[in-house]
Structure 1
Amino acid sequence: MPPPDPAILIRPLCPDDLPDALAIQAASYPAFLREDRAAFLSRLEIDGSCCLAATREGALIAYMLAHGWPRAAPPAVGTILPRHAAMEVLFIHDLAVAPFGRGTGVGGLLVAASVTLAEKFGLHRAELIAVEGAADYWRRLGFTETPGSPALAAKVAGYGPTAKWMTREIG
């Protein structure tokens, strides 16, 4: 992985970023994995939000949707989240990088910054569903495939045939 580009700035993702974030999402995922504006916004507004933006020269080049959430209970794609939910783990819902931001190390920067925020909320474990063949990427960031209940496996399957449930201790 290349060293991070020093011109990249990491900051909280905000509602004004949504048009650009939705465009990055559309360029990154098939239609069945895309969230609408309302679902995105609910992730920014939930207690324990660790949603972040990465910019270079003022342009959004990547985003991360992550937040405190109940353990082993990933929400279905498109779910509008309640403002208050149990904060047992950091759930990494989405990490997407614009084509012009790839190869900059920005994904790792966003994950590290999100984990730092999660630690401030007292969270010690991160969970995610790796989609579209991304499990190897997440393994490089310390995540491992973790077995789960049949109910969890059914939820993961809703994210596509190659989806993998992965976890990592933090802190």
Structure 2
Amino acid sequence: MQERDIPAVLSIQQEAYSPQLQEDEAVIRARLAACPQLAWVAEDAEGVCAYLFAYHSRVGKVTPLDGEFQRHEQADCLYLHDLAVAPRAGGRGIGPALVRKKLEQAKAHRLRYSALVSVQDSEAFWSRLGYAAHTQLDQPQVSNLASYRIPAVYMVQALH
């Protein structure tokens, strides 16, 4: 992802998420600045058609909506914060392909887990990619999960 991709990312976010889940441009720019090597886009003939924000974290740590990515010295987890595909590109396997490539990279960096917050009834999608609900969270993390203000499920996958 490059700075020039931000308008397309914001447009895709608006198409993919309900208004209460949309993060503003300043937050999106901060995510790119925090982990530029882990912020990816996919392009088709019309331009950017999907994006994925991720960072290295610790399993059991939930990033709140609009929250800053918290770097951890002892990172053991690739946290997928946001995956969205433009409706025009749906059904082509772009989202799963981005996730698989990101998980390959995580394994190469010897991370033991990947985690995410599932929203908008996406739990079945993430389950097909190997994630399972993880409910053993301490109170601060439960509060972070509640920041999404809609049903949200923290999910984890062990990487081998």
**TM score, norm. by length of structure 1:** 0.83
Please tell me whether the aligned partners of residues 49 and 67 of structure 1 are also in contact (alpha carbons under 8 angstroms).
no
Q: Hey, which of these two has a bigger chunk of helix by percent? A: 2
Please tell me whether the aligned partners of residues 62 and 154 of structure 2 are also in contact (alpha carbons under 8 angstroms).
no
- Within 2, Cα distance between the matches of 1:161 and 1:37? 21
Stretches of structure 2 that go unaligned for 5 or more consecutive residues are none
Deviation, structure 1 residue 69: 1.7
Instruction: Report what 1:17 is aligned to.
Output: 5
Deviation, structure 1 residue 36: 1.7
> Per the alignment, do residues 104 and 58 of structure 1 end up closer, same or farther by CA in structure 2, a change over 3 Å counting?
same
Cα deviation 1:49-106 (Å, max 9, x = unaligned):
4221111125111111111123322222112336x54433111101101010100000
1:56 paired residue among 40, 44, 49: 44
Sequence identity of aligned pairs in percent?
Answer: 26
Instruction: Report what 1:45 is aligned to.
Output: 33
Aligned counterparts, 1:22-171, within 5 A: 22-47=10-35, 49-57=37-45, 59-81=47-69, 84-86=71-73, 87-151=75-139, 152-171=141-160
- Within 2, Cα distance between the matches of 1:166 and 1:128? 5
Structure 1 runs of 4+ aligned residues shifted over 3 Å read none
- Within 1, Cα distance between the matches of 2:29 and 2:120? 23
Instruction: Report what 1:8 is aligned to.
Output: none
**TM score, norm. by length of structure 2:** 0.88
Matched residue count: 158
Please tell me whether the aligned partners of residues 129 and 164 of structure 1 are also in contact (alpha carbons under 8 angstroms).
yes
Secondary structure (helix, strand or coil) at the match of 1:149 reads coil
Please tell me whether the aligned partners of residues 52 and 114 of structure 1 are also in contact (alpha carbons under 8 angstroms).
no
The one-letter amino acid of 1:45's match is A
Please tell me whether the aligned partners of residues 145 and 166 of structure 1 are also in contact (alpha carbons under 8 angstroms).
yes
Deviation, structure 1 residue 150: 4.5
Please tell me whether the aligned partners of residues 55 and 69 of structure 2 are also in contact (alpha carbons under 8 angstroms).
no
- Within 1, Cα distance between the matches of 2:131 and 2:25? 28
Stretches of structure 1 that go unaligned for 5 or more consecutive residues are 1-12
